[in-house]
């Protein structure tokens, strides 16, 4: 666990990327997308054993495209839950409203559980089918078993710890947020044992 928490701060390059990522978040959505693409590239280098893992946000257009692709996938995964929640709000307090609320919660939980599985394999193989095939993402998540749940614990803990950044005039949260989500990416890349699955990627990507 400590290895995951220290990973985004272990080298000068890593610490630099956390600070640059925090500054990029000041641009709101474009900065968030760039940070997402950056994390995908870090996981890619971990899988292919290509240190240094942190190389800034260059080339910017490529990193942004990687993040934008993943951002669209996140939106697609969460859309069913959002639509059900909106329909429940329109029908409230009708007889179908509570049913739709339950469906919305279940759809949200399924999407959040599956996304790291698809996101991590997309990062390692640059294969967008892992993002836009929820069934493949869900299968990868299930294959992680207990270590996948452990990654959730580590990631959740990092996200909660990142809230401490709010005490530093609020601006500190930008840096702690980038740190936390890098911890999340690293934890799931370890949990899904990417280094031992590369040889079977082609045969199991159906």
Q: What is the pLDDT of residue 20?
A: 96
Task: Report pTM.
Answer: 0.86
* Residue 143 near residue 192, CB atoms below 8 Å: yes
* Beta partners for residue 55, in sequence order: 57
Q: Which two tokens stand for residue 61?
A: 């257009």
CA distance 157 to 155: 5
In this prediction, residue 72 carries a pLDDT of 92
Looking at residue 55, its pLDDT comes to 94
CB 154 within 8 A of CB 175: no
Q: What is the pLDDT of residue 195?
A: 43
Listed in sequence order, the DSSP H helices in the chain are: 2-6, 12-24, 29-47, 60-91, 97-125, 129-132, 134-162, 172-191, 201-204
pLDDT at 200: 47
Q: Is the omega angle on the peptide bond into residue 84 within 30 degrees of 0, that is, cis?
A: no
CA distance 79 to 84: 9
Q: For residue 199, what pLDDT is reported?
A: 40
Regions of the chain where pLDDT drops below 70: 169-170, 193-206
Sorted by where each begins, the domain ranges of the chain are: 2-204
- Report d(CA 115, CA 70) in Å as an integer: 10
């Amino acid at each position: 666990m400590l290895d995951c928490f220290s990973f985004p701060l272990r080298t000068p390059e890593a610490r630099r990327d956390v600070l640059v990522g925090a500054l990029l978040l000041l641009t709101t959505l474009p900065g968030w997308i760039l940070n997402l693409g950056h994390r995908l590239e870090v996981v890619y280098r971990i899988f292919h054993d290509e240190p240094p893992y942190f190389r800034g946000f260059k080339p910017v257009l490529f990193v942004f495209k990687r993040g934008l692709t993943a951002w669209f996938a996140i939106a697609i995964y969460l859309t069913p839950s959002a639509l059900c929640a909106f329909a429940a709000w329109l029908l409230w307090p009708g007889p179908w409203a509570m049913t739709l609320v339950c469906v919305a919660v279940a759809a949200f939980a399924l999407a959040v559980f599956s996304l790291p599985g698809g996101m991590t394999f997309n990062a390692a193989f640059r294969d967008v089918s892992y993002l836009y095939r929820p069934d493949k993402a869900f299968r990868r998540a299930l294959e992680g078993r207990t270590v996948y749940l452990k990654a959730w614990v580590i990631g959740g803990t990092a996200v909660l710890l990142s809230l401490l950044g709010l005490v530093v005039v609020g601006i500190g949260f930008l840096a702690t947020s980038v740190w936390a989500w890098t911890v999340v990416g690293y934890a799931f890349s370890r949990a899904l044992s990417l280094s031992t699955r590369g040889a079977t990627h082609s045969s199991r990507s159906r």
